[in-house]
Amino acid sequence: MVRLTTLVIMPRTTHRAGFALVALAYAATTTGGSVPTPLYVLYQDRDHFGTTMIGVVFAVYVLGVVGGLLVAGAHADRLRRRPVLGAALAVQLLACAVFLAWPDLPGLLTARVLSGLSVGLLSGPATACLIELRRRAAPDGDPRQAEVVATAANLGGIAAGPLLSGALAEWAPAPLRLPYVVIGIVLAAAAVLLAAVPETASPGPRPAARPLALAGQRRDLFLASCLGGLVAFAMFGLFSALSPSFLAGTLGYRSHALAGLVAFVGLGAAATAQVGLRRLPPRPALAVVVAAMPVGLGLVVLGVWAASLGAFVAGGAVTGAAAGLLFRACLTTVVQLSPPDRRAGTLATLFVTSYSGLALPVIGLGAASQVAGTRSALTGFALLGLTALAAVAIVRFRPDPTA
């Protein structure tokens, strides 16, 4: 444990280096949140619970995320950035400790709540901090780079967690312990490095703000962006929570490394698309999403109906890339519509609606599968997702009288 005095005297770095360190801390935290993804099958075998309990485990994680987002939305704009980010890292470290010290089902539920709380505390303030650091490091640079890096760190971390834990579960000892030890070391290192990041916020004596805020203009566009974030994260939830179950129960593949790899392909494609297409403004980006997501979901559904691993993985890559691009477009739009003094609140609104989408595939598909079967339930989920995407596109492509 690094002593507090060491953190206090650590010299500050430049805004450019601080930008990289905050992105690292963001990615490490979301990695910690997604580490259990390929391990749920092991927890099921050990504790003999069904898919309904997996839905509960994932739901309590989302509740933790929403709770953290509400706290951050209420207090982040009147606090300094670094203490909020440090608190989020500390809570994620505590979640790792609970996973290790309390391996039973109640401990799993508690750790998932803490892990979600950490991600919720971090998401809005980290995004705002990256925007502020970028503007100070390069005032004349492309302002969209900060949003691209923020979403890439978020989704890149979510993608890295299953890959890490799946590989360790397949080829290393103690599959339900070692992944949390490894990510705990990474989180501790990120917490130490965070102490060198320059502060970007000037807290004032103002009272706590409303945890959620709406944009002051173009409310229709703001709400459509929140719906788009929900659609994007529903696709992320499809792969981060359900891909191991589909692989094992429907396609017959029980490799933990393969389960982690499939989740990584879908979520990694999301981060890659954001970086590769970072210069696309929101409207053209959404046009790409509208063309690509039906193709990706069609391949996913085909893979499940035809028991084709290749179609399932290819569909995951296309769907993940489209979802990542969709979320980046929604995030950029919200930032553009938000005044600086309300940015944490509007970002909290976006993240609350987006992260709620993580629970929809687990809970909705789990319930629908009991009635109609896995294949029909997945087909219905794809149709609902595309319907919601069409609603977002209708608002987004409406002529803008203020343009």
Structural tokens at position 69: 């987002």
Write down the mean pLDDT value for the chain.
Answer: 85
Q: Give the rounded percent of residues in the chain with a pLDDT score beyond 90.
A: 42
User: E strand or H helix at 137, and its extent?
Assistant: helix 105-137
Q: Which amino acid is residue 95, in one-letter code? A: A
**H-assigned helices in 252-308:** 256-276, 282-305
Q: Which amino acid is residue 399, in one-letter code? A: P
Q: What is the pLDDT of residues 126-152, one digit of tens each?
A: 988 898 898 888 887 776 788 888 888
For residue 218, CA distances in Å to 159, 337, 402 come to 33, 8, 9
pLDDT at 119 over 90: yes
Q: What is the pLDDT of residues 246-260, one digit of tens each?
A: 777 777 787 888 888
* DSSP state letters, 8-30: HHSPP--HHHHHHHHHHHHHHHH
Predicted local distance difference test score (pLDDT) of residue 1: 43
pTM: 0.84
* DSSP state letters, 41-102: HHHHHHHT--HHHHHHHHHHHHHHHHHHHHHHHHHGGGS-HHHHHHHHHHHHHHHHHHHHH-
Mean per-residue pLDDT, 196-204: 77
Predicted local distance difference test score (pLDDT) of residue 315: 94
Q: Which amino acid is residue 107, in one-letter code? A: G
Identify the residue whose tokens are 């803008």.
400
pLDDT at 267 over 50: yes
Predicted local distance difference test score (pLDDT) of residue 179: 96
Query: Domains, the chain, ranges and CATH?
Result: 15-198+209-396 (1.20.1250.20)
The alpha carbon of residue 300 and the mean position of all alpha carbons in its chain are separated, in whole angstroms, by 21
Query: Of the spans 153-157, 161-165, 348-352, which averages the highest pLDDT?
Result: 161-165
**H-assigned helices in 138-218:** 144-171, 178-194
Structural tokens at position 79: 């606090």
Three-state secondary structure call for residue 308:
coil
Mean per-residue pLDDT, 79-106: 92
For residue 1, CA distances in Å to 185, 373, 397 come to 11, 50, 52
- The more confident residue out of 366 and 272 is 272
